Amino acid sequence: MNILILGYGKMGKIIGEIAEGRGHHLSAKINIENVDELDRLDVSSIDVAIEFSQPESAFDNVMWCLDKGIPVVSGTTGWLDKFPMVEDKCKASNGTFFYASNYSVGVNIFFRVNRFLSGLMKNQQDYRVYLEEIHHTEKKDAPSGTAITLAEGVLKHLQHLSGWKLADDSTLTEADLPITARRIDPAPGTHIVTYSSEIDDIEIKHTAHSRMGFAQGAVLVAEWVRGKKGILSMDDFLSL
Residues 6+ apart with CB under 8 A from 164: 131, 143, 148, 151, 155, 176, 177, 178, 179
Give, in degrees to the nearest 5, the angle at Cα 203 between 100 and 130: 70
Q: Which H or E run contains 124?
A: none
First-to-last C-alpha distance (Å) of the chain: 26
Options 24, 25, 68, 139, the catalytic residue: 139
**What secondary structure letter does DSSP report for 103?**
-
Instruction: For residue 143, say if its preceding peptide bond is cis, omega within 30 degrees of 0.
Output: yes
- List of E strands, 75-197: 96-99, 128-135, 163-166, 176-183, 190-196
By residue count, the chain amounts to 240
The verdict on whether 228 is a catalytic residue reads no
Neighbours of 37 (CB within 10 A): 12
Q: Which H or E run contains 77?
A: none
CA distances from 128 to 54, 111, 116, 134 (A): 34, 19, 17, 20
The verdict on whether 139 is a catalytic residue reads yes
Options 13, 29, 82, 135, the catalytic residue: 135
Question: How many angstroms from the chain centroid is the CA of residue 106?
Answer: 13
Active site (catalytic) residues: 135, 139
